[in-house]
Amino acid sequence: MEIKVCGPGCPKCHEAERVVIEALGEAGIAANVEKVSDFNAIAKLGVFATPAVVIDGKIRCTGKVPSKKDVLSWLK
């Protein structure tokens, strides 16, 4: 599983990354979590609002920090 957390490095972006990592630990799922902060790379993913979470190429959340419950549902 490939997860990209997109954002320039603001507090909300760090929070989104933390939530994703906590959800992975809770679910017992191993995944490659990558922080994407380059605006061109973020735009190439189709993301135009940050923070954003992209799982296996599918945009799951943009413009807000996802809840752990949401992330857990995306991992299943």
- Catalytically annotated residues: 10, 13
Of 7, 6, 23, 12, give the one whose Cα is nearest residue 74.
Answer: 23
Which residue do the tokens 């490095």 mark? 9
Which residue do the tokens 């799922």 mark? 29
Q: How far apart are CA 53 and CA 66, in angstroms?
A: 8
Question: Amino acid letter at 48?
Answer: F
